[in-house]
Structure 1
Amino acid sequence: MALSDLPIRDDLRGLTPYGAPQKHVRYALNVNENTHPIPEPVARHIVESLAHAVLTANRYPDREFTALRESLAGYLSRDLREQQIAPEQIWAANGSNEIIQQLLQAFGGPGRRVLGFPPTYSMHSIIAAGTGTRWIAAERDADYAISPETAVRAVEQHRPDLVFLCAPNNPTGTALPLETIEAVYDASDGIVFVDEAYAEFMPKGQPTALTLLPGRERLVISRTMSKAFAFAGVRLGYLAADPAIADALRLVRLPYHLSALTQAAAVAALAHAPEMLAMVDDIAAQRDRIVAELPALGYHAWPSQANFVLFEGVTDPQATFRALLERDILIRDVGIPHALRVTAGTPDETAFFLAALAALPR
């Protein structure tokens, strides 16, 4: 039996699932993971916390993940000068993808629309389809930018129930001005969602959308521990918003959706935020190295504020992808013509990638 033979929902027919290749290679630089190992002292603390949590695993976990919310609120508040994030403003789930799903379950659904600005994170439109929410694609400006004027024009044209923004943007790595977020919020009467999965890789001191939260009850900012905290395998995403947003998500979340082990591991890692974030500086240095060296190889690299680099000038992306794969390097074809995306990894991974790319015929 084929998928087409099943009585699947009509609006899901013909769609394809998330499809990042999973291959065993020496250098996996395709899904923007943090390729640095967790520091041993931090890993030891996490393991000890997990061992303690296992002793009570016969009981359901804290449904409100109280300790984790307090830790996340403290983490987000550390760089905010004139505001603090309260625990009741925090919501967490199994990766930021589940955050997006719960948000669309609560505020989207059949008959409702979400506005996005491709190219952007592919799961935004995929999860919209899964929740029966209509995805509307708006145009960007040149160089993958979104000016306040362009964003407001799209909002006024489509009057969406939700607007999804990505800052920094994936897959381009480009920045999104706070002025654009403010303008979208003022022009919209629905939920404005800002995906800040890569916020820790932004230039130090640059304000994030968290600074816009006061007085904006419909603004939602999501983060993840997958990237900066090297926690991709743990699956922990979270948001900051008005407490009423968490109340709405309680209506659609599954009971006890965050396991006791996930909560314990995340709280332990957050206790070592300075050690974990030291990796961010190393990764940003390799990202900037890639941006600086690709032009000498004949490619245009887009300035990035994330942990990856989009580069253009690739005559045949699939051929280049296969040629690098033969050299044990996995990067990503994101569907942008004549472009590929590579994750910034360790110095050795960066050197190997650049040398392999330089050896390929143009």
Structure 2
Amino acid sequence: MIPVRDDLRALDGYHSAQVEVDVRLNTNESPFPPPDGFRDALASELSRVDWNRYPDRSAHALRADIADLHGVDPTQVFVANGSNEVLQTVLLAYAGPGRTVATFEPTYQMHAQIARVTGASVVEGERGADFTLDPAEVERVLAGAAPDVVFLTSPNNPTGLVEPRERVEQLLASAPGLVVVDEAYAQFSDWTALDLVDDSRPLVVTRTFSKTWSMAGARLGYLVGPTWLVSELDKVVLPYHLDVVKQLAGRIALRFSTEMNERVATLVSERDRISDALSALPIDVFDSGANFILFRPRDVDGRTVWQQLVDRSVLVRDCSSWPRLDNCLRVTVGTPDENTRFLSALTAIVNDDT
């Protein structure tokens, strides 16, 4: 057997429990499928695809449509296979061996994971007990590590916290390198860093089609950033990396923004309902601006609660063994019926009803 690279031996892959249950609320997907019109339009377009030809290498039409959505130039948009490939491409270009990437934990695990896979060193800043980020801690990390890339996730995963605008502005004022704001859940939040993006700032904002556009199965993501940065990404991305199906699916999805906004409104309303119900139980609930909620049972072991939910055919994310997240679980906002079933099951568990 040939050994893996020395710097990868201690790493684990990204895992999320796959359990057969009636109610699956562990991976932050949309509980709603795309509109029927999306399916019909995609099927029609696919019937005319020249399958023997390579796709548009630069996805010009998709980039133009995304640019139109956000009021930017297509040269400011980069698209890839899910936001994780977007992040990987950025790190291949701006991190790598001899460079440093900074994160503020707890946050999305793949930022540090991808950084290490590219060969970069990772420096972890610390959030407070309430998961907020102290400006002094930001300055400590920036001054001490001089990172080449800094990640900030808003809303943060897994905590749900929405970073204030002044925190992004602080990073832009003090960071010596690139600032990446991961906005996978931004449509559920009340503000976005997109209006801070221009060619004078080393800032990129990443987005995904997996959540509000109901396209987790397609694996499509993008970033909006300075033109000079986007042009550099061509040096590291594989040729023809984005297939014709994804390009078509992304363009067609953008025609259904009204339906997307309706789904977001429903999920935000359900998120508030879940949060209110959890707050009435012996549970610590963390404010969320995303399509999920992090919570911590006070008197019951988190892993035990997770298993008892599975026993009732409800699956949430077990974060109880993650660093800094002792006893925590995370629930994705599902359909109203799924949410009611989750709340009923959890209420019975924490009240020790058999």
TM more than 0.5: yes
| Equivalence for 2:170 | 183
Cα contact 2:149–2:177 (8 A) shared by 1: yes
Provide the rounded CA distance (Å) in 1 between the counterparts of 2:172 and 2:128. 19
Deviation larger for 134-143 or 118-127: 134-143
The one-letter code of the counterpart of 2:12 is T
| Equivalence for 1:249 | 233
Match of 1:239 among 223, 239, 258: 223
| Equivalence for 1:119 | 106
| Equivalence for 1:21 | 17
Cα contact 1:147–1:180 (8 A) shared by 2: no
Cα contact 2:199–2:225 (8 A) shared by 1: no
Residues 326 and 60 from structure 1, CA distance in 2 versus in 1: closer, same or farther, beyond 3 angstroms? same
- Displacement of 1:169 in angstroms is 0.4
- Displacement of 1:212 in angstroms is 1.1
Deviations 1:45-103 (A, max 9, x none): 222223333xx1210000110110011111123xxxxxxx1111000000000011011
Say which SS state the counterpart of residue 126 (structure 2) adopts: coil
- Displacement of 1:200 in angstroms is 0.3
- Aligned pairs (5 A) from 1:166-205: 166-203=153-190
| Equivalence for 1:342 | 331
The one-letter code of the counterpart of 1:63 is R
The one-letter code of the counterpart of 2:280 is A
Cα contact 2:172–2:201 (8 A) shared by 1: no
TM-score by length of 2: 0.95
RMSD: 1.3
- Aligned pairs (5 A) from 1:171-320: 171-203=158-190, 206=191, 208-214=192-198, 216-314=200-298, 315-320=300-305
| Equivalence for 2:306 | 321
| Equivalence for 1:72 | 66
Residues 52 and 311 from structure 1, CA distance in 2 versus in 1: closer, same or farther, beyond 3 angstroms? same
Deviation larger for 38-47 or 163-172: 38-47
Percent identity reads 42
Deviations 1:228-252 (A, max 9, x none): 1011010110000011111111000
Provide the rounded CA distance (Å) in 2 between the counterparts of 1:211 and 1:150. 25
- Displacement of 1:196 in angstroms is 0.4
Provide the rounded CA distance (Å) in 1 between the counterparts of 2:43 and 2:94. 37
The one-letter code of the counterpart of 2:20 is H
Residues 267 and 158 from structure 1, CA distance in 2 versus in 1: closer, same or farther, beyond 3 angstroms? same
TM-score by length of 1: 0.93
- Displacement of 1:360 in angstroms is 0.8
Provide the rounded CA distance (Å) in 1 between the counterparts of 2:47 and 2:21. 32
Provide the rounded CA distance (Å) in 2 between the counterparts of 1:286 and 1:320. 22
| Equivalence for 1:39 | 35
The one-letter code of the counterpart of 2:48 is H
Provide the rounded CA distance (Å) in 2 between the counterparts of 1:91 and 1:200. 19
Residues 152 and 178 from structure 1, CA distance in 2 versus in 1: closer, same or farther, beyond 3 angstroms? same
- Displacement of 1:214 in angstroms is 3.0
Deviations 1:2-21 (A, max 9, x none): xxx53210011121110111
The one-letter code of the counterpart of 2:241 is H
Deviation larger for 134-143 or 108-117: 134-143
Q: Which runs of 5+ in 2 are unaligned?
A: none
Q: Which runs of 5+ in 1 are unaligned?
A: 78-84
